[in-house]
Structure 1
Amino acid sequence: MDVSILFATRNRAAQLERTLDCYRALDTQGLDWELLIVDNGSTDATAEVIERARQDLPITYLHADGVGQNRARNVAMDRLSGDLVIFTDDDVLPEPDCVRAYIEAARRWPDDVIFGARIEPSFPADTPVWMTTPDFEFATTAFARYQPADREGPVGRHPYGPSFAVRRAAFEGMRFNEQLGPQTGSYAMGGEGDFLRRLAARGYRYIYVPQARVAHVVRAEQTNIDWLLSRAYKKGRGQVYLPSSKKAPKLYWGGVPLKLWLGTLRSWLFFQLYRCLPYAPERACVERGIIYQFRLGQVHELRARQAGVTHNDQD
């Protein structure tokens, strides 16, 4: 089989219907492909939407016990048949030529195994303008904007969760870390990044494929300031699990480097200052809050690790 496409879904029946309409419009002429959808405990009309779509799409419908995006993905890992596997989400709308662009790029780069699509957030109409601009750096974390280069080729930044492709032979036996990524309650981000970094550690490069284009649907609540700050906190938690080339700190308190404690305090003070200024721009205040919440998430996770607390115990 040429291509397997895999995503998990949970209680997003209306969005799933829209997403599957895009799959009906894919240019798959002459391709042998499959679409694996893992239901991560939905209680809405998800099953009905999928059953209708199976009439005209090559869907394999699977179920995961327990909540967790990476747990759902792992359910499908031994069921994949495609030489190239596209990992995506249920709120990602591929352009009609997206799959073919991945395949053609894989042919142009025969010695490489990891490919990332161009991801453009699709914002609600009333989103603040500053939040939608490419120079809002946190958009990469908040909305998965991924445009690391102007042309196709190797890049230093790993692809993002809404759409990346990997040659199946390269990840035989690998699994996603089920303690990372979306699940019930608060969680540490970084499930896809962890998976791709482990692949890259085997000597593989990241190949950016701008011709493979997808839109990542941003929900209204995701443009809320509190949601952005929560996202930064989760990002900080996940950051603890990434490898670092920096020297290990010498001074710790409560399992946390003293430098991080001081940085967290300093960022909190700046955040509070901007919140009190009567004419402070909203963006400036939010960006200070993001820095503070990111560092606070790191502190939280490091202290929990020292206490031997698991992710699920914390949530």
Structure 2
Amino acid sequence: MICVIVPLHPTQDRRELLEAKLRALEGQGELEVILVSDAPHPYAFLDEYRPPYPLRILHDPQAKSAGRKRNRGAAAAQGEHLIFSDDDVVPEPGWLEAFRQAFAREQAVYLGGFRFREGHAWKPALRLGRVGFNNVNGVALGMPRALFERVGGFAEWLEGYGGEDLEFGYRVVKAGIPLRYLPQAQAKHLGPTPTRDLLKARQAGAQAARIARYHKDPKLALELGVHPAQLVLKMTTLPWMKGLLGYTGDYELAYAWGAWETRYDQRPGEGRRA
């Protein structure tokens, strides 16, 4: 059995997205679904919803981060294969079957494909033909439970928006576990596009700085664009160059600001992996 684990972010504008996701899973074969929320009663419609698959709703008031919610769901899952998928992602027909076939083919960590609500498709940025750790995201991340446990789950010391996916991917690659792109598993990402949000860009930069500091890996810092030398260069050139780069310049400056502000901002628990 495959367990689909969905961290919830209960807000009014995501209720319809979650319902669309759950209904899209109804015809996809044998599975279980676990919703994890830090709110006790996330959505009223769940009280009456009766899907053809086992559905559980876990309440963890301490689960403020997506990483902790995913770990909580994985611990409660009955299946031997896990798919982590956010509440604003609606699977296409054949989504689960594509993961089933992939799990039977190779024990690896898989990234499903998706389209943003604006219509453009996401594809991983390959390097030397390989999927990089920084492509890992919460849209559709599937793997055998054994590999999840081998990596150690998601980092719960990362609070706030973003970062827990690529940090998990970094440890996947370091452990020598294959990371594969699975374009046959398609979904629609109906939430806002992160790269169009400057506040999220700033938060992403802050998280990247925390991840680089935690792992003490200069190559990782360079890969994330938060090495001290990179930040000095960005902070001195982007304010007057960003107009030439359009929105990309605004995004990169916001990302750099977030990382710059976080250089000495070590949070409680950051020195250990949860």
CA deviations over 1:231-271 (Å, ceiling 9, x no partner) = 2212211222145454999xxxxxx8365234212111223
TM-fit CA distance, 1:64: 1.6
Retained in 1: the 8 A contact 2:5–2:74? no
Confirm whether residue 13 of structure 1 aligns to residue 15 of structure 2.
Answer: yes
Q: Which shows bigger deviation, 292-301 or 235-244?
A: 235-244
CA deviations over 1:81-134 (Å, ceiling 9, x no partner) = 21210000110010121111011012222xx320111121122xxxxxxxx656
TM-fit CA distance, 1:42: 6.3
- Alignment match, 2:69: 72
Q: After superposition, where does 1:136-175 map in structure 2 within 5 Å?
A: 145-148=122-125, 155-157=131-133, 158-172=135-149, 174-175=152-153
- Which structure has the larger Rg? 1
Retained in 1: the 8 A contact 2:124–2:131? no
- Alignment match, 1:232: 201
Quote the Cα distance in structure 2 between the aligned partners of 1:57 and 1:311.
37
Quote the Cα distance in structure 1 between the aligned partners of 2:191 and 2:98.
24
- Alignment match, 1:277: none
- Alignment match, 1:120: 115
Could you tell me which of 99, 112, 116 is aligned with 1:102? 99
SS of 1:270's equivalent in the other structure is helix
Q: Which amino acid aligns with 1:8?
A: P
Quote the Cα distance in structure 2 between the aligned partners of 1:77 and 1:53.
22
- Alignment match, 1:60: 56
- Alignment match, 1:139: none
Q: After superposition, where does 1:182-261 map in structure 2 within 5 Å?
A: 183=160, 187=161, 189-219=162-192, 228-240=197-209, 241-242=211-212, 244-246=217-219, 257=228, 260-261=231-232
SS of 1:215's equivalent in the other structure is strand
Retained in 1: the 8 A contact 2:74–2:82? no
- TM-score w.r.t. the length of structure 2 is 0.80
Quote the Cα distance in structure 2 between the aligned partners of 1:194 and 1:88.
17
- Alignment match, 1:93: 90
Q: Which amino acid aligns with 1:35?
A: V
Cα 1:286–1:201, aligned 2, differ >3 Å: closer, same or farther? same
Quote the Cα distance in structure 2 between the aligned partners of 1:69 and 1:236.
17
Q: Which runs of structure 1 show a deviation greater than 6 angstroms over 4 or more consecutive aligned residues? A: none
Structure 2's unaligned 5+ residue stretches are none
Q: Which amino acid aligns with 1:297?
A: G
Q: Which amino acid aligns with 2:131?
A: V
SS of 2:265's equivalent in the other structure is helix
Quote the Cα distance in structure 2 between the aligned partners of 1:229 and 1:288.
11
SS of 2:177's equivalent in the other structure is coil
CA deviations over 1:39-95 (Å, ceiling 9, x no partner) = 23266xx44222222353310111121322222222222111212100001100101
Q: What is the aligned length?
A: 254
Could you tell me which of 282, 295, 309 is aligned with 2:256? 295
Cα 1:75–1:248, aligned 2, differ >3 Å: closer, same or farther? closer
- Alignment match, 2:35: 37
Identity of aligned residues (%): 22
Quote the Cα distance in structure 1 between the aligned partners of 2:183 and 2:74.
26
Quote the Cα distance in structure 2 between the aligned partners of 1:177 and 1:246.
20
Quote the Cα distance in structure 1 between the aligned partners of 2:124 and 2:229.
35
Give the superposed CA RMSD. Answer: 3.0
